[in-house]
Structure 1
């Protein structure tokens, strides 16, 4: 075989590999299929009925570093990852952050992408990374993925995850928080609407879907790019939205983000928000009774991304929005969490 033929074959094989990789990711990206909403469950700091640890007998302690875990919820085996800083005291109650991946990802991807482990090491808290079934979460009648189609109760799964971790580690229930991006941010909102497990939630590029007449009295920080075309800031249908039609319906109909946050403030009886702008970042913060706060942080011209994260290979292959450098979302959310424990 001459050198020209060899070079052509090499290029062909490389191009084919890229096409296959992009095809796999596109399948995950487009695979949002929903027909019915999850059940509404009241959350308590114990595992709900039907939830069991994987191992029989007493639960083993959690070693320092990153580890993988399994629990059974409503007859389904579910998985999550856990990060415990080795220097963390095994006896002093520690804060817990539950980080919920978006529809493209899973727990391992979220652990690698957003810098929460490094923040946990610096600040002394535990991080959990639950795995959505088929890489998505059930948050409404039309979003998102096979879990909602199958009637999976992802709210119950996250509550069971917190209970399982609390049985193995000393966790402070007044400093337990949930953060999420995109579909994971939508689940964080549902957790605030349907449970009393969390002291505060942090949402990036997400939205509230479905009713939420009486959310828990918690604090909220919401970060959103004004150029997001997947969950648009102005509430119009995103680029993956098909109106809920077809075999894989996608309908994200939460309305404008600013209106949603304003409704949240009214429910929480907050004072009028005060806005400040620094470069591309505008923060609108409202003080609420009992030490709570509701903040909306917008980043001008930023797309559908986690600000401050490192661009991933998948994002480069698909031409997705690069992370904004105007804000470090992980540090911003953690500072907000640390300042807003539950006032019990």
Structure 2
């Protein structure tokens, strides 16, 4: 009994030190991960800058375009630097064979095989949140092209995101009962892959064959109006500065629906380094516009 009495204070001290309420700090820097979703091993990269221990951080999901990868999106669009400066966690998932299942007819292998990319993103966000504290009210998604298409599907089929910011994309998925959320669209007015005015893009094959690509969605201005209606927004203000025309609506609940149209810009991420001359030539890619820095603009939108 005397020995137990002597040990009791030590046991209480150890219990206090191992309390589950102790703040987590999470890993810092870049890490690579694999998770099982259904029968598939899915991969993603996480960049976590130094953050205050135990303080829930915002999370930005960055979706690459067709033929891209998470690593390519991380490097090309400089999200690591933005995360370090802004104090948020950035995650870069990989599509199956470099494609995302944005709708039954698009795009590529992911659509052909009906890959559950929505389920993957949900599982990935949950796993990242278990590894370090993430603020569930500040989870955001952005992406380009095929990745932008998937952001709209995520907005329609999940309740994860407070805001999305598709770049060079439109909505081709069914969206019967969308919930209000903030939306920023960035789109080149000379984009012929996903045309600004809507309709078929130059890579459209009608959604047939082994690599289906059917992109026949609404014009970005009409889609912007759709999301203003979803959010119950008043009429927007329209301003033009240089190459940029901004359509901005401040909506109930502190939400914002915004469109930035970039004159003389094609299918690309404004302000990025671009894919390089060889890839641009082989894949017929447009050079990035330098009229704006899309990454900085998107983070400011999410932050607001």
Answer whether TM exceeds 0.5 for this pair: yes
Report 1:95-110 matches (<5 A): 95-110=58-73
1:315 and 1:321 in contact (8 A); partners too: no
Paired residues, number:
279
The two structures have a TM-score, normalised by structure 2, of: 0.89
- Work out the CA distance in 2 between the residues paired with 1:140 and 1:214: 16
State the 1:316 CA deviation: 3.7
Which of the residues 329, 332, 337 maps onto 2:294?
Answer: 329
State the 1:214 CA deviation: 1.9
2:15 — aligned with what? none
1:9 — aligned with what? none
SS at match of 2:81: helix
- Work out the CA distance in 1 between the residues paired with 2:53 and 2:90: 15
Deviation per CA, 1:152-177: give whole Å up to 9, x if none. Answer: 11011001110000000010001110
2:111 and 2:212 in contact (8 A); partners too: no
2:198 and 2:217 in contact (8 A); partners too: yes
User: Can you give the 5+ residue segments of structure 1 that lack an aligned partner in the other structure?
Assistant: 1-59, 340-344
**Quick check: which one's strand share is greater?**
2
1:265 and 1:294 in contact (8 A); partners too: yes
2:109 and 2:212 in contact (8 A); partners too: no
The two structures have a TM-score, normalised by structure 1, of: 0.79
State the 1:61 CA deviation: 7.6
Which of the residues 237, 257, 261 maps onto 2:224?
Answer: 261
2:41 — aligned with what? 77
State the 1:62 CA deviation: 4.6
Which of the residues 219, 223, 234 maps onto 2:182?
Answer: 219
2:262 — aligned with what? 299
State the 1:226 CA deviation: 0.5
2:100 and 2:150 in contact (8 A); partners too: yes
- Work out the CA distance in 2 between the residues paired with 1:246 and 1:156: 25
SS at match of 1:201: strand
SS at match of 1:244: coil
1:138 and 1:144 in contact (8 A); partners too: yes
Which of the residues 32, 36, 54 maps onto 1:68?
Answer: 32
Is 1:283–2:246 an aligned residue pair?
Answer: yes
Shifted more, 204-213 versus 124-133: the winner is 204-213
Q: CA RMSD in A?
A: 1.4
Flag the 1:84–1:239 CA change in 2: closer, same or farther, 3 A: same
Report 1:41-190 matches (<5 A): 62-85=26-49, 87-190=50-153
- Work out the CA distance in 2 between the residues paired with 1:329 and 1:285: 16
